[in-house]
Amino acid sequence: MPEITLVEAVTQALAYEMKHDETVMVLGEDIGKNGGVFRATLGLLDKFGPERVMDTPLAESMIAGLAVGMAVQGLKPVAEFQFMGFIYPAYDEIINHAARMRNRTRGRLSCPAVFRAPFGGGIHAPEHHSESTEAIFAHIPGVRVVIPSSPARAYGLLLAAIRDPDPVIFLEPKRIYRLVKQNVPDDGKALPLDTCFVLREGSDVTLVSWGAQLTETLKAAELLHQHGISAEVIDVATVKPIDMETILNSVTKTGRCVIVHEAAKTGGIGAEIAANIAEHALLDLQAPIQRVTGYDTPMPYFKNEKYYIPNEQRIINAVNKVMEFA
**Which sequence positions are flagged as catalytic?**
129
Instruction: Compute the distance between CA of residue 137 and CA of residue 238 in angstroms, rounded to an integer.
Output: 12
3-state secondary structure 248-261: HHHHHHHCCEEEEE
- Can you say how many angstroms the Cα of residue 251 is from the centroid of all Cα atoms in its chain? 22
Alpha-carbon distances, residue 50 vs 12, 31, 39, 43, 144 (angstroms): 18, 10, 17, 12, 28
- Specify which residues 25 forms β-bridges with: 77
Instruction: Compute the distance between CA of residue 213 and CA of residue 150 in angstroms, rounded to an integer.
Output: 11
Neighbour count for residue 208 (Cβ, 10 Å): 29
Order of all β-strands in the sheet with 76-80: 53-55, 24-28, 76-80, 114-119, 168-173, 144-146, 238-240
For the chain, the C-alpha Rg in angstroms (whole number) is 20
